[in-house]
Structure 1
Amino acid sequence: MTERVDCVVVGAGVVGLAVARALAISGREVLVLEACAAIGTQTSARNSEVLHAGIHYPTGSRKAQWCVAGSVALYDYCAARGVAHRRCGKLVVAQNEEQSHALQAQQRQAHANGAHRVQLLDRESALALEPGLRCSSALWSPDTGIVDSHGLMLALCGDLEHAGGSIVLRTPVQHGRCAAGGVELLTGDGVRLHCQTVVNAAGVHAPALARHIDGPHQRHIPTARYAKGNYFTLAGKAPFSHLIYPVPERHGLGVHLTLDLAGQARFGPDVEWVDSPDALDVDPHRAEGFYAAIRQYWPALPDGALLPGYAGIRPKIEGPAGLLTDFLIQGPQEHGAAGLVHLYGIESPGLTSCLAIAEHVERMAVSLTPSPSPAGRGELREATSRLAE
């Protein structure tokens, strides 16, 4: 027997939950399928929890536009929902004249992106904010902050469920195919779903999921690349109250210092290209490179102060030698499969951009399918019940 469902979102990370919430609030019947035993256990739980201001992304890119718009929306959302967060600000620090020139270019780009409060500081002004720093100049971003990512995801879940949506855990999608009037999915426990709309928000697994769904979209699937980011935590208290970043690298923002909401410091991520999204162990020997990178801007870092923390995988769609890519969102216009939307390469600033991404996908979905029948919610409850058995 095949259950009919209006809309399925695959993946209950922060972006998948934000998309599902937006669809449900718009009146769609939404079912979220998550392979893991809890929401947000992968990339959404293995990052810096930073709310970015939109400084570093190419002007006009989706990353730039959605980061700036998403940051404003997310600060408002967290305040309204009581999600713990803090607008602590960050310093991007230069160590020489060449890097200082790079910061000047970064400021111009930040202003072009709409992050107008970003300003250049000379050495004395930077040290007035953070006396423990070493730098020749710095870029000050007062609107960068931190957020309790799990609290954010719980708030998104609450909104989704209040709007009539449902989440089913431990339910991987095994196979699918594009069919008349939508997409058919087969879950790992044998339940068949006929969906008017399917949103692939599976993060690092999005290209693999797309390959398990037969249809004309197959020729447009990008190659997944896995850029592991390792984090080390600090034993003791750091003498900083703001986030500290070096000048950005090609595939990341460098080994930076971030703070959690309790003030505990952590460092990372670095960039380590791996072959599997499951390579999440932290090699303690990588600390040597961390000490060298951190002491560029914090010379007083004590020996033995770094402890292996955790690792996350950036869901990239280009390799070490590739050009930097933007968020890639494909709908029927791009790949020709009716009712199917793929979200690829949703790496940083995906957390900051989640509400803006959700708004975009919700607008796309309006044109994909007709309004659900009045019986839709009953069918959704029946499908949810079968999946939960």
Structure 2
Amino acid sequence: MKTIIIMILAIITLATTACASKDSFTINGTITGLTDGTEICLVPGSTHKQEKTIATTTLSNGKFTFSGQVESPRMFYIQLKENSGVIQVMVENGVNATVTSKVETRDNNGQEWTSFSDTKVSGSPIHEEFLKKMAFKEELEQMFMSKNEKHKVISAQIGEARMNKNKILMDSLAKTKEYQEMAADENLFFKAAGEKTKQAVMDNKNSWWGPFLMLQSMSWFEEEQKEWFANFSPEAQKSYYGQIVYEELYPETLEGKQAPDFTVTDSQGKTLTLQELIKGKKYTLIDFWASWCGPCRREIPNLKALYKEFATKGLEIISISIDKDNAAWQKALQEEQFPWPNFLDKSNIADAYEVKLIPAIFLVDSTGKVLSIKLRGKALEEKIKEFLK
């Protein structure tokens, strides 16, 4: 990955010309709602990384220009320096793209956030193809909105009960017909989302579009995505985006190394470090999961069985959710009733542990040394029994 990033840094340049030759691309933009002199950034996109800006320019008379060369089609984000959404633009050499947009500034929990709207991209055939291949996401978004509208009453009731910490009411609502219908529709939606995403990726398994669509459509990969990658053609696997997917699916291991330290905050507002959490424990399982991750939820009964049998013998479990939606996480906690510490990842702990696939379970000893990152189910049970027999 470092090689790829360095390569991009070397080939992207800022230009003052407005035309692209067959060996380069140009993005000419017009943005309304910003003052002249505003810094505009060009950032690599669809890499699942917090990429650094590779070129900047300033807005002049509401316009800006970027120009450079790429070895193959690339997704770039155009964004402001801080607190802004992004404009997605796909380019390849020979493209002379035109971007128009306007900005709106709003308050986001006390922080000013600038978002783009009425965005149009023209002059880039590869971008048009990108929009066609991503059309299935619009269909899923409509399904999602329809589902939420259909169940907005029971959802609001559940949300209010959760906010008031009214467990009796939450349990009562969970038994209603409306709640059961909402849960069933959610399951159907996530099943459809998975099927449509896989179909879109597999329809493009013989080119770089396959791995690109994986990165564009999914925030995290699970074990089953290894099979997707195996079905890609050699061309797709070796492509720029194919290499990124491979590195996510098969990351370097932390086994034998010291587990990265981290600090989390519990429900009472108390901060705790990893060393404080494992103190006095012989072995600890650090479990990265998410409310929406089916395999993660299916692994929970196994963890509960281990905890019940070995908690008094020196086993601890720490669950860290990568959920972006706090309400979804809280809902999952209520449903699962974990008997061990649970935290929401608010400081990129998963990145420190190089988590690319979930569930990800790290077995560490009393000193914080990582003993395993691959064990789950029966294999994990046997290893814990071996250590704590």
* TM-score, normalised relative to structure 2: 0.24
Larger radius of gyration: 2
* TM-score, normalised relative to structure 1: 0.24
